[in-house]
């Protein structure tokens, strides 16, 4: 910061200079009044303080470095001359330099202003100031006296004149002051107090000769410097010595070119200003007379200065010197005028600079205020920044603490998670390991199991294959034997058939003859009757004419006797023919097979039963075939088809066939029972297929059979046959026999029904079973009702009223012929089998399931027995079930067997229907053997019959 310090005297300037601290930012401004002449008011108010300070300090230092020689005695005159010279120099300084210094001051002010405001002044001023400072600095290094100042002033002025070009001609030159010439003022005494106190050394350095002082005192008057605050050290221009001459040259027109075309001179100033090096600064500044250069040159060349002897000769040419001085003064005056012009321009510039300074001051003030505001703002910002920094530090600390804490927590959680992950990994690995082991164990066990199973299956299959092979071989052998046997039988049967055909033809012929005889006898009888009527009429006529009548009566009686004899013969012949017919019929039955199979299809009872199965009866003529369309079957390529299954039996009854027609087919078997055969008629089929209806319905086989038997027995009475009939009704339930004719409450548990076989008579009796004599048809009906009531009936899901037992009606027929003395024992077994449905179909549970199992078992045993009979096995498994055990003598051997396979017409029962038909086909293909009558013959017939039996037995 720059402070303007007002000063009014040189002392003040000195003190200010002394107070200047170059290092301090506070620089005192030296008032220009210290260099101002009295009365000069309109001058620059300040000078560059640094330059003045430098100037003064250099001068003092120089003076101290080169003090006046104490040994040299300075004469007052010399001192006066030196003082005059100094005054002269000071005068020049006063009028030539100060105006420039004013400019410099202006420059300094500008510089100060610049310094204070920080805004650069116009370049021309700044350059001038800078050059001035440089000149002052470089010039004062080489000389320690006021000559140096002069030189510096010259330098400063040179630069100032350089800047003056801008204002040349633009500003009018001021009026020159009226001054005395040096010639006029040469005789004026110089106050001693104003003489400089410089020593002889200083005068010597200035080139002042002691001998020229007196002349100078008369021709040269020092300028009025009495008002100068600083005492002059010498009076310039007191004599014609070299410095004065040099001075005049230095400022005169001869040494200085015009301003507009000034070229660098060869003077020391010019050299000093252009050579600013340290070596150049050591050179003494050139004087106007050039003697210094000569001294320097001589000094440098080691030659002593030789100018002193010439000085007296020049100093005594006073007129010349005065004229020269006058000339020089004119020149100087012109220079002063020019300088004044420059000064005016400079003052204008100063004004301009002042205005500029004022503006700058205002700007400075504004900037200061702005600066204050900015400072306050900066302060607030700094405080805020401090607060923010503080907060930032706190936040940083907090953040670091949080970060540390969070890091610890994170580490803890990471460790915890790591532990959890490790534990989970261990757990998972253990589980995986365990699962692998379990899987491995399971796989191994499964592998072992499958290996074991496959091994067992292989062994089982191998065994089965082996068994099947053995069985196949045995069956093949059996089949071969059977085939051979069958072939023999076929041959025999063919021959028998042929013979029988012959016999039948003969019988037919006999019968026709007999019938013809009967007809003839009837005709004869009619003839006889007519004869008898004629005879009666003749008797009546004879009675009227006695002899003639008695002859006619005798003739007629003879003829009657003859007729009676013929009739008796015919009757005997008929009995004989009936016996032969029976024999032929039984033989025919035997040829047809001892087991016959008939099929019956019941009708659809109600449309609500469902759809009817596709059952056809293709052969209407023989009525022996049935075709059943099977269930839908899906082939491998996805097509749906239904197979037509043909079956052929001994007789097939369509749904339209009634019971009487069915009975016609079995009536011959009933007759066989009357003839002494064991006959077994049983109904096989699923529940609801019509077994009971066929067997036990009011017009079923049992009633019809009994009715037939009654009718036949009645008829046979004419043929001397008398029959006794006993009936019993048993039930096979859960492989136990129950008497259906004994009410449950009357059953004695201690008396169990037992099957007894009479090997001799081939008859089977059931112990403790009630046997009812059937002496009338009503008695049979009562027996059937009683048996029906006692029969075990249980409800199943297949049929609400289903027989769960096998019922067997046993009718024993014993006949005796009083005429022929024949006796026969036949048994008619009418069996209503239980339902043949399979266990899974009935969906029975508990007791019902046990019933079904036993039913199936007994039916299976029935099939086994039939199969064994068909194969001609030595062992027939009758005892495997109660049913077959009971029917042992009615199945095979000397028995005749008829199986009704009952078929339901419903589509829902199609599967069971086909199963039943297949079973029936199996039975139908079985040849049980030849039946034997149990008829006992008496006398010749018995012998004859026994021969026939032996012959038949030998056939098998």
Ligand X SMILES: Nc1ncnc2c1ncn2[C@@H]1O[C@H](COP(=O)(O)OP(=O)(O)OP(=O)(O)O)[C@@H](O)[C@H]1O
SS3 (DSSP) at 236:
coil
> Nearer Cβ to ligand X, position 207 or 690?
690
162 marked as binding residue: no
Say whether 688 counts as a known binding-site residue. yes
Segment lying near ligand X (by CB under 6 A), choices 51-59, 394-402, 544-552, 799-807: 799-807
CB 584 within 8 A of CB 505: no
**Options 100, 205, 691, 738; binder of ligand X; rule CB under 6 A:** 691
603 binds ligand X (CB under 6 A): yes
Backbone torsions φ then ψ of 567, nearest 5 degrees: -65, -40
* Closest distance of CB 731 from ligand X, Å: 12
Of 602, 704, 812, 885, the one binding ligand X by CB under 6 A: 602
What is the nearest approach in angstroms of ligand X to the Cβ of residue 690? Answer: 3
Q: Are 797 and 788 in contact (CB under 8 A)?
A: no
Cα three-residue angle 484-924-672, rounded to 5 degrees: 100
**Measured from the CB of residue 655, what is the shortest distance to ligand X in angstroms?**
6
159 binds ligand X (CB under 6 A): no
846 assigned to a ligand binding site: no
Q: Which long-range contacts (CB under 8 A, 24 or more apart) does 91-95 make?
A: 91/222, 91/223, 91/225, 91/236, 92/150, 92/153, 92/236, 92/247, 92/251, 92/332, 93/146, 93/149, 93/150, 93/153, 94/35, 94/37, 94/223, 94/225, 94/228, 95/223, 95/336, 95/339
Smallest gap from Cβ 787 to ligand X, in A, equals: 13
**List of residues 6+ apart from 663 with CB closer than 8 A:** 701, 704, 705, 708
Q: Report the residue number, 157 or 691, with the smaller CB distance to ligand X.
A: 691
By CB under 6 A, what part of segment 268-307 binds ligand X? Answer: none
Binding segment (CB under 6 A) for ligand X, from list 779-787, 797-805, 931-939, 944-952: 797-805
Site for ligand X in 866-905 (CB under 6 A): 902
Q: Please report how close the Cβ of residue 559 comes to ligand X at its closest, in angstroms.
A: 57
Which CB sits closer to ligand X, 80 or 687? 687
Minimum separation from the CB atom of position 706 to ligand X (A): 19
**Is 100 or 804 the residue whose CB approaches ligand X more closely?**
804
Instruction: Choose the binding region for ligand X from 579-587, 688-696, 701-709, 922-930 (rule: CB under 6 A).
Output: 688-696
Is residue 605 a contact residue for ligand X (CB under 6 A)? Answer: yes
Q: How far is the CB of 609 from ligand X (least distance, A)?
A: 10
Rounded Cα distance between 302 and 291, Å, is 16
Residue 711's φ and ψ, nearest 5 degrees, are: -65, -45
929 binds ligand X (CB under 6 A): no
Structure tokens at 108: 């300094």
Taking CB under 6 A as the rule, does residue 795 contact ligand X?
no
| Count of beta carbons in the 10 Å neighbourhood of residue 637 | 5
687 is in an annotated binding site: yes
Other CB atoms within a 10 A radius of the CB of residue 47 amount to 29
Alpha carbon of residue 858 to chain centroid: 65
Binding-site member from 31, 676, 688, 893 for ligand X (CB under 6 A) = 688
- Select the residue whose beta carbon is closest to ligand X and give its number: 690
Tell me the DSSP string of 216-282.
HHHH------TT-SSPPSBBTTSS--HHHHHHHHHHSTTTS--STT----SSHHHHHHH--SHHHHH
Neighbours of 834 (CB within 10 A): 27
Query: What phi, psi does 313 have (nearest 5°)?
Result: -60, -45
Stretch that binds ligand X, among 79-87, 128-136, 663-671, 796-804 (CB under 6 A): 796-804
In the block, tokens 């549970």 appear at 845
Q: How far apart are CA 538 and CA 571, in angstroms?
A: 31
Phi/psi at 259 (5° precision): -60, -40
3-state secondary structure of 83: helix
* C-alpha separations of 568 from 527, 537, 571 in Å: 17, 27, 5
Count of other CB atoms within 10 angstroms of residue 199: 22
- If one asks whether residue 150 binds ligand X (CB under 6 A), the answer comes out as no
Decide if residue 799 touches ligand X (CB under 6 A). Answer: yes
Site for ligand X contains 651 (CB under 6 A): no
Query: Applying CB under 6 A, does 690 fall inside the site for ligand X?
Result: yes
**Token digits for 516?**
């013809």
Candidate list 117, 215, 802, 916; residue touching ligand X; CB under 6 A = 802
**Is residue 354 marked as binding?**
no
User: Based on CB atoms, which residue is closest to ligand X, 299 or 603?
Assistant: 603
We find the least distance from the C-beta atom of residue 904 to ligand X, in angstroms, to be: 8
CB of 476 to ligand X, least distance (A): 39
Shortest Å, Cβ 807 to ligand X: 9
Contact by Cβ (8 Å): 84, 222: yes
Stretch that binds ligand X, among 19-27, 687-695, 707-715, 943-951 (CB under 6 A): 687-695
Nearer to ligand X, 237 or 685 (CB): 685
Query: Quick check: 418 and 412 in contact, CB under 8 A?
Result: no
Q: What are phi and psi of 646, to 5 degrees?
A: -90, 140
Place of tokens 């016959």: 596
CB of 620 to ligand X, least distance (A): 19
> Quick one: 148 or 837, whose CB is closer to ligand X?
837
Six-digit token string for 390? 């503080």
Among 228, 525, 687, 790, binds ligand X (CB under 6 A): 687
Least separation in angstroms between residue 835's CB and ligand X is: 4
Residue 835 binds to ligand X (criterion: CB under 6 A): yes
Instruction: Work out whether 654 is an interface residue with ligand X (CB under 6 A).
Output: no
Q: Does 842 bind ligand X (CB under 6 A)?
A: no
CB of 799 to ligand X, least distance (A): 5
State the Rg of the chain over Cα. Answer: 91
**List 790, 803, 897, 926, residue binding ligand X (CB under 6 A):** 803
692 binds ligand X (CB under 6 A): yes
Could you tell me which stretch among 31-39, 45-53, 363-371, 598-606 binds ligand X (CB under 6 A)? 598-606
Q: Say how many residues touch ligand X, by CB under 6 A.
A: 16
Q: Can you tell me the distance from the alpha carbon of 566 to that of 740, in angstroms, rounded to the nearest whole number?
A: 52
Of 144, 676, 685, 727, the one binding ligand X (CB under 6 A) is 685
Residue corresponding to tokens 């990471």: 414
Nearer to ligand X, 200 or 703 (CB): 703
* Residue range at the interface with ligand X (CB under 6 A); choices 19-27, 179-187, 546-554, 599-607: 599-607
Q: Which of the ranges 94-102, 173-181, 547-555, 684-692 carries the binding residues for ligand X, by CB under 6 A?
A: 684-692
Helix (H, G, I), strand (E, B) or coil at 172: coil
Sequence-distant (≥ 6) Cβ neighbours of residue 946 within 8 angstroms: 937
CB closer to ligand X, 345 vs 601: 601
Among 329, 693, 809, 919, binds ligand X (CB under 6 A): 693
Rounded to whole angstroms, the Cα distance separating 412 from 324 reads 110
Cβ proximity to ligand X, 465 vs 908, nearer residue: 908
Residue 100 host element (H or E): helix 98-117
For ligand X, the closer of residues 287 and 916 by Cβ is: 916
* Cβ neighbour number for residue 257 with a 10 Å cutoff: 12
**Contact predicate 350/109, CB 8 Å:** yes
**Could you say which of 689, 827, 854, 934 contacts ligand X (CB under 6 A)?**
689
Q: Which helix (H) or strand (E) holds 157?
A: helix 146-164
Return d(Cα 943, Cα 309) in angstroms, integer. 226
Task: Confirm whether residue 921 is marked as ligand binding.
Answer: no
Nearest alpha carbon to residue 612 among 916, 908, 912: 908
- Measured in whole angstroms, the distance separating CA 572 from the mean position of its chain's CA atoms is 108
Phi-psi region of 21 (alpha: psi -120 to 50; beta: other; left: phi over 0): beta
Residues 438-477 that bind ligand X (CB under 6 A): none
- Footprint of ligand X (CB under 6 A): 602-603, 605, 685, 687-693, 799, 802-803, 835, 902
| Binding region | 685-692
| Binding region for ATP | 685-692
């Amino acid at each position: 910061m720059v402070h303007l310090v007002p000063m009014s005297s040189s002392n003040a300037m000195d003190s200010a200079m002394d107070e200047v601290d170059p290092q301090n930012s506070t620089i005192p401004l030296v008032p220009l009044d210290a260099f101002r002449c009295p009365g000069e008011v309109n001058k620059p108010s300040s000078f560059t303080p640094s330059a003045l300070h430098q100037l003064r300090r250099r001068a003092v230092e120089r003076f101290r470095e080169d003090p006046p020689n104490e040994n040299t005695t300075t004469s007052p005159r010399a001192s006066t001359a030196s003082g005059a010279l100094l005054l002269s120099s000071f005068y020049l300084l006063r009028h030539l330099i100060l105006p420039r210094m004013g400019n410099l001051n202006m420059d300094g002010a500008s510089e100060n202003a610049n310094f204070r405001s920080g805004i650069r002044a116009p370049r021309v001023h700044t350059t001038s100031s800078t050059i001035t400072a440089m000149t002052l600095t470089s010039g004062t290094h080489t000389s320690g006296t006021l000559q140096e100042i002069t030189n510096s002033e010259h330098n400063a002025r040179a630069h100032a004149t350089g800047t003056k070009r801008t204002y040349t001609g633009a500003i009018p030159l001021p009026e020159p002051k009226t001054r005395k010439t040096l010639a006029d003022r040469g005789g004026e005494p110089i106050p001693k107090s104003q003489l400089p106190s410089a020593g002889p050394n200083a005068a010597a350095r200035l080139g002042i000769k002691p001998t020229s002082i007196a002349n100078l005192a008369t021709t040269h008057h020092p300028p009025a410097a009495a008002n100068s605050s600083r005492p002059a050290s010498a009076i310039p221009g007191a004599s014609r010595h070299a410095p004065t001459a040099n001075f005049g040259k230095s400022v005169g027109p001869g040494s200085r070119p015009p301003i507009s075309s000034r070229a660098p001179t060869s003077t020391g100033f010019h050299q000093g200003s252009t050579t600013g090096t340290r070596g150049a600064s050591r050179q003494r500044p050139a004087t106007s007379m050039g003697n210094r250069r000569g001294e320097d040159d001589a000094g440098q060349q080691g030659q002593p200065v030789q100018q002193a002897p010439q000085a007296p000769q020049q100093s005594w040419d006073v007129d010349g010197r005065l004229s020269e001085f006058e000339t020089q003064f004119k020149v100087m005056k012109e220079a002063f005028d020019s300088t004044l012009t420059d000064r005016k321009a400079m003052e204008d510039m100063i004004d301009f600079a002042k205005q500029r300074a004022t503006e700058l001051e205002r700007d400075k003030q504004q900037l200061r205020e702005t600066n204050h505001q900015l400072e306050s703002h900066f302060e607030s910002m700094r405080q805020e920044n401090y607060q923010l920094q503080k907060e930032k530090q706190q936040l940083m600390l907090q953040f670091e603490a949080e970060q540390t804490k969070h890091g610890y927590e994170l580490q803890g959680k990471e460790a915890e998670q790591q532990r959890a992950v490790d534990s989970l990994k261990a757990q998972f690995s253990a589980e995986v390991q365990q699962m692998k082991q379990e899987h491995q164990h399971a796989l191994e066990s499964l592998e072992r199991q499958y290996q074991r199973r496959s091994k067992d299956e292989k062994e089982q299959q191998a065994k089965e294959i082996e068994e099947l092979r053995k069985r196949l071989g045995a069956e093949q052998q059996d089949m071969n034997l059977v085939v051979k046997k069958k072939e023999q039988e076929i041959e025999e049967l063919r021959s028998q058939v042929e013979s029988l055909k012959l016999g039948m033809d003969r019988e037919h012929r006999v019968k026709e003859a007999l019938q013809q005889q009967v007809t003839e006898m009837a005709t004869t009888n009619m003839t006889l009757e007519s004869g008898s009527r004629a005879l009666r009429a003749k008797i009546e006529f004879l009675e009227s004419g006695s002899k003639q009548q008695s002859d006619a009566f005798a003739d007629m009686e003879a003829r009657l006797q003859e007729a009676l004899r013929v009739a008796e013969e015919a009757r005997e012949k008929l009995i004989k023919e009936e016996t032969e017919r029976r024999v032929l019929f039984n033989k025919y039955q035997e040829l047809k097979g001892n087991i016959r199979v008939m099929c019956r299809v019941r009708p659809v009872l109600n449309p609500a039963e469902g759809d009817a199965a596709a059952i056809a009866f293709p052969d209407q003529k023989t009525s022996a075939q049935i075709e059943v369309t099977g269930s839908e079957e899906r082939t491998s390529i996805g097509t749906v088809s239904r197979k037509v299954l043909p079956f052929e039996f001994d007789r097939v009854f369509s749904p339209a066939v009634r019971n009487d027609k069915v009975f016609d087919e079995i009536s011959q078997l009933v007759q066989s029972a009357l003839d002494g055969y064991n006959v077994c008629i049983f109904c096989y089929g699923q529940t609801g297929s019509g077994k009971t209806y066929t067997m036990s319905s009011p017009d079923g086989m049992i009633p019809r059979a009994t009715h037939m038997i009654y009718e036949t027995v009645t008829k046979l009475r004419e043929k001397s046959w008398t029959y006794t009939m006993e009936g019993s009704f048993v039930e096979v339930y859960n492989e136990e026999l129950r008497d259906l004719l004994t009410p449950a409450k009357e059953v004695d548990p201690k008396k169990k029904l037992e099957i007894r076989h009479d090997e001799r008579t081939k008859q089977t009796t059931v112990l403790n079973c009630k046997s009812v004599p059937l002496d009338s048809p009503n008695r049979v009906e009562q027996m059937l009702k009683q048996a029906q009531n006692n029969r075990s009936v249980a409800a199943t899901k297949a049929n609400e009223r289903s027989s769960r037992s096998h019922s067997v009606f046993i009718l024993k027929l014993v006949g005796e012929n009083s005429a022929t003395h024949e006796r026969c024992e036949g048994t008619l077994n009418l069996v209503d089998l239980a339902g043949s449905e399979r266990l899974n179909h009935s969906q029975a549970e508990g007791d019902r399931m046990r019933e079904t199992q036993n039913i199936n078992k007994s039916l299976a045993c029935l099939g086994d027995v039939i199969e064994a009979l068909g194969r001609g096995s030595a062992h027939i498994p009758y005892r495997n079930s109660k049913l077959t055990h009971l029917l042992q003598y009615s199945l095979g051997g000397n028995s005749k067997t008829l199986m009704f396979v009952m078929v339901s017409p419903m589509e829902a029962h199609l599967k069971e229907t086909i199963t039943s038909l297949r079973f029936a086909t199996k039975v139908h293909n079985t040849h049980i053997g030849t039946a034997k009558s149990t008829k006992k013959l008496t006398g010749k017939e018995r012998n004859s019959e026994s021969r026939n039996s032996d012959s038949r037995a030998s056939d098998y």
